[in-house]
A and B are shown apart, each in its own frame.
Chain A
Amino acid sequence: MTPADHKALLFAHFANKTTPLQCRMIDEWLKDEANQERYYAWLVEWENQLPIYQPELETPLARFENHMKTHSVEGVQEPAAEVTEISIETASRANFGWMAAAAVFVLLALGGWLNRSRLFYQTYQTAYGETRTIRLTDGSTVTLNAHSSLRVPRFGFGIRSREVDLSGEAFFAMQHRADDQKFIVQTPNGFNVIVHGTEFNVSARTHRANVMLHKGSIQMDYALGNTRQQLMLKPGDVVTMNRHSHPQLRHHVWTQPYLAWKDHRFIFDHMTLTDFGQLVTDTYGLRVEIASPTLARRTLVGSLQATSVDELLQTVSELFDLSVVRQANSVILKEKE
């Protein structure tokens, strides 16, 4: 057979048009290594003559060149000075790439760690003067009073437990669960409220912390010295927490003053002006100064509706016949001269 005959046979073979006997002949022929070289050379020729489709070359070539640049291989001999220069540049670029990748990774990890609270918890916040109602995934609703925040786990809430963190003040209307799954409100004031399907108000302000049970039953868990104490609440009970003393439990309390804020109402049941000042501070973020101790001891009785701090201060000042000096972030209440 001439080389041309072999070529014709091979081309037929590539097209799978050879008989088993011809295949056997090719197998024999391929035992010569030189013929194997010929085989591949003809295969390339055949593929080039009868391509099944036209692959696009430019993009993959550019990608390959880029790969070679960024993955410069150690020990590649490059005698020409010009080429050596390029290889140093590409090597440092590759190192830079790795360093950049490592830096990005470290930053991401650090960011993830620092932001883990944001990653794992959804935080609802209200500004001064703002109230907001949130519906949690378990069907419970939480109304946040002004300048308060509620932190709810993003993952697993309502699956094994229901635990939220509250700072500020909120009214909770819990969805009772058939499996009696507990709902726990944790506060930074050293007490937690364990809920058994109920409506209640928790206030966890810096200077004022209390829990008012409206409906159902809740359990309070607080620290006394080094021990934890539990307290069961019945509807109408109010527990006031003071930083260094026992919690004070009062029964059959008029609950409306504790809930009025939800409707932008204020109910004052013998509230001292000092406490009113604290209320304004907690709700609107204004520092309140009361000009004289005598004035600070005066108490407020009554209810009023106010949607803004100005409205509230105006009404109160009219009631007490006070003059209100409003500055950027502070208010001075004094008796009219």
Chain B
Amino acid sequence: MQATFTVNKSDNDAAPPIRPYSEQEQPVASRYRDDGHLPDNELFIRRTFDENPQAGCKLLFQLYYKPMCTHAVRFVYSKEIAEDLVSDVFYTFWNTQAFKSVNRSFRAYLFRSVRNSAYNYLANEFRKSAPLDSAGHQVVAQSDGPESITCYNELYGKIDELVASLPPQCRNAFILHRFEGKRAKEIASQMDVSVRTIEVHIAKALATLRDGLKNQWLIVPLTLWLQNWAETLL
């Protein structure tokens, strides 16, 4: 079945001169095929993009929206914020026609983008000083170094750790408020305490996060900044 896609590439003479996927893409895809356990369904999507970018974007959205949301929520700890960030990534993807210049997988591109957005969101929320130049707008790193890939895992690991370290009632209130998006009033009646107590819990949790994450903001942006800087030079 997958063989048909490689055929499709070579025999299509009438294809537009710029095809979204390049020659280098093939070996990667073939390596996945060799692994046997990673069917690269993005090839379907690439074909769709050739014919109708809108349909291609729709397929990507259907395929990756959910995992992107559940991933982003590990950083921002809020369903609502996570979903907004993911939607924004897709809107930007469409508006800037980024799909034309993606030379690796869409999946990698989209996940890098959403991690970046989540990072910037957190940095804006929890960093006391003004964000670095990169935080103001969405930085979509085309390729980020191996260092920063694992840094993102460490970042949400750190956040989990900090939330886990909160006293049970405080943690509970924070999760209900932030993750579930419930109002302090609702939580107060659910937990049978005063609204003021809930507000104190939430404030305490946020302060713990701010304090616990204060050393995080240098690691990732510096590497990103260096990459952006390097890209502008190239």
Known A44-B64, A44-B111, A78-B52; further 8 A-B contacts with Cβ < 8 A: A3-B37, A37-B28, A37-B105, A41-B40, A52-B74, A64-B91, A71-B94, A73-B53
B231 CB within 8 Å of chain A: no
A34 touches B97 (CB 8 A): no
A5-47: which have CB < 8 Å to B? 7, 13-14, 16, 23, 26-28, 30-31, 33-34, 36-41, 43-44, 47
CB distance from B45 to the nearest CB of A (A): 13
Q: Which residues does chain A contribute within 8 Å of B136, judged by CB atoms?
A: none
Residues of A within 8 A of B108 (CB): 36-37, 40
Query: Which residues in window 124-182 of A have CB below 8 A to B?
Result: none
With an 8 Å Cβ cutoff, the count of chain B residues facing the other chain is: 53
- Indicate if A67 sits at the interface (CB-CB under 8 A): yes
Interface: B156 (CB within 8 A): yes
Q: Looking across the interface, which residue of chain B has its beta carbon closest to that of A75?
A: B97
Q: Are B83 and A55 in contact (CB under 8 A)?
A: yes
Interface flags for A72-111 (1: CB within 8 Å of B; 0: not) read 0101111110010000000000000000000000000000
A51 within 8 A of B: yes
Please name 19 pairs of A and B residues whose Cβ atoms are closer than 8 Å in the assembled complex, sorted by A. Answer: A16-B154, A16-B156, A37-B32, A43-B71, A44-B67, A47-B70, A51-B67, A52-B74, A53-B73, A53-B79, A55-B69, A57-B62, A60-B87, A61-B62, A64-B61, A65-B54, A68-B94, A71-B94, A78-B51
Known: A27-B147, A71-B95, A79-B51. A41 touches B38 (CB 8 A): yes
User: Is B33 at the interface (CB under 8 A from chain A)?
Assistant: no
Chain A residues lying within 8 Å of B217, measured Cβ to Cβ, are none
Asked if A63 is at the interface (CB within 8 A of a chain B CB), the reply is yes
Contact indicator A16/B52 (Cβ below 8 Å): no
Judged by a CB distance under 8 angstroms, whether A292 is at the interface is no
Q: Does B146 contact A (CB under 8 A)?
A: yes
For B69, give the chain A residue with the smallest CB separation. Answer: A55
Check A64–B87 contact: CB distance below 8 A: yes
Given contacts A37-B108, A44-B107, A71-B95, whether A60 and B74 have CB atoms under 8 Å apart is no
A47-B71 contact in complex given A64-B90, A68-B94, C-beta closer than 8 Å = yes
Taking the closest CB of chain A, its distance from the CB of B22, in whole angstroms, is: 13
Let me know if A48 is at the binding interface, CB within 8 A. yes
Determine whether B211 belongs to the interface, using a CB cutoff of 8 Å to chain A. Answer: no
- Cα-based distance from A53 to B71 in the complex (angstroms): 10
CA distance A173 to B201 in the complex (A): 55
Cα-based distance from A33 to B28 in the complex (angstroms) = 9
A57 contacts across to B, CB distance below 8 A: 62, 65-66
Q: Are B150 and A26 interface neighbours, CB within 8 A?
A: yes
Instruction: Flag if A55 contacts B54 (CB, 8 Å).
Output: no
Q: Decide yes or no whether B23 CB sits under 8 A from chain A.
A: no
- Flag if B70 contacts A65 (CB, 8 Å): no
A108 to B38, CA, bound (A): 57
Q: Which residue of B lies closest to A2 (CB)?
A: B35
- B204 to chain A: which residues have CB within 8 Å? none
- Give every chain B residue within 8 A of A65 (Cβ-Cβ): 54, 58
7 A-B pairs with least C-beta separation: A16-B157, A30-B146, A47-B67, A55-B69, A40-B108, A51-B70, A44-B67
Cα A38 to Cα B61 in complex, Å, equals 20
In the bound complex, CA of A28 to CA of B146 (Å): 8
A43 touches B111 (CB 8 A): yes
A3 with B35: in contact, given A37-B105, A61-B61 (CB under 8 Å)? yes
The smallest C-beta distance from A18 to any residue of chain B, in angstroms, reads: 8
**How far is A76 from B94 in the complex, measured between Cα atoms in Å?**
10
Contact in complex: A55, B66 (CB < 8 Å): yes
What's the least CB distance linking B165 to chain A, in Å? Answer: 14
CA A216 to CA B83, docked complex, whole Å: 68
- Which residue of B is nearest A59, CB measured? B83
Q: Across the interface, name the chain B residue whose C-beta is closest to A56.
A: B83
Q: Closest CB-CB distance, B112 to chain A, in whole Å?
A: 8
B31 to chain A, nearest CB (A): 6
Residue of B whose beta carbon sits closest to that of A52: B70
B150 x A61 contact (CB < 8 A): no
Q: Which residue of A lies closest to B77 (CB)?
A: A52
- Closest Cβ neighbor of B159 among chain A residues: A16
Closest CB in chain A relative to B107 CB, distance in Å: 5
